[in-house]
Amino acid sequence: MAEFVHLEVDEGVATIRLDRPKMNAISLAVQAELRAAAEECTDREDVAAVVITGGEKVFAAGNDVKEMASMSYAEMVSVIGPLQQAVTAVAEIPKPVVAAVNGYALGGGCELALAADVRFAASDAVLGQPEVLLGIIPGAGGTQRLARLVGPSRAKDLIFTGRFVRADEALTLGLVDRVVPPEDVYTQAWEWASQFSGAASLALRAAKQAVDGGLATDLTTGLALERAAFAGCFATADRETGMRSFVEDGPGKARFEGR
């Protein structure tokens, strides 16, 4: 049993919940458990979509600074890879992933939220990449995913200054996708994820891989990725089911099997 990261599955929706009181600081142990949970979500056929949350009070206030403070350069060289890999494992779950952000999502917590496909934030949530105030920079994808999400100049402003961003500004920046009352964040995130139970899972996988792969390269290469993924869908039973249902019954009535 994991100590700090809990995984539950209900009606096709997996919830990855951080539980390391009181601020969900992301320690080496949390990183390892987070990676394991993400890999389990990837492998499990009964998981159609994923919600990642830190609970009702705080998402994650950052990496464990006390744990890092005494590390040497040589020690950090061996640690930074697993740190990035834990967050990347979440980003690479080949299913829709939504972050339900209550309270603080700072530093490593913000980077974890960035690894989701969409982000729902409480109206009183606070996000940011304040690593520069510690004399370091984001190290779990913040310099890369944030720039791709909100653009390089906005990302540089947030990273250079280390300032905190409240939910309304985060929505304006495109850092989050929906702002809701604090008590509704998880429920709305779960409801968003639940719409993919019974969806064409192989098509969703292909779509996510095409979008994410295309963002990492030039347009020509991205279009080639899209062509290959599009054609690949024609090898699936879901494509046959979906098109037959559309012709016979109209759109939105197909019942997919994920094969």
Q: Which residues are catalytic?
A: 111, 131
Evaluate the CA torsion angle 192, 141, 202, 2 in order and state its sign. Answer: negative
- Decide if 97 contacts 137 (C-beta within 8 A): no
Half-sphere exposure of 138 (CA within 13 A, CB side): 28
Packing angle between helix 219-232 and helix 201-215, nearest 10 degrees?
Answer: 170
Kindly state the tokens that stand for 246.
Answer: 């559309």
Kindly state the tokens that stand for 130.
Answer: 């304040």
Tell me the chain's radius of gyration from C-alpha atoms: 19
> Cβ neighbours of residue 56 under 8 Å, at least 6 residues apart?
102, 182, 183, 186
- Decide if 38 contacts 87 (C-beta within 8 A): no
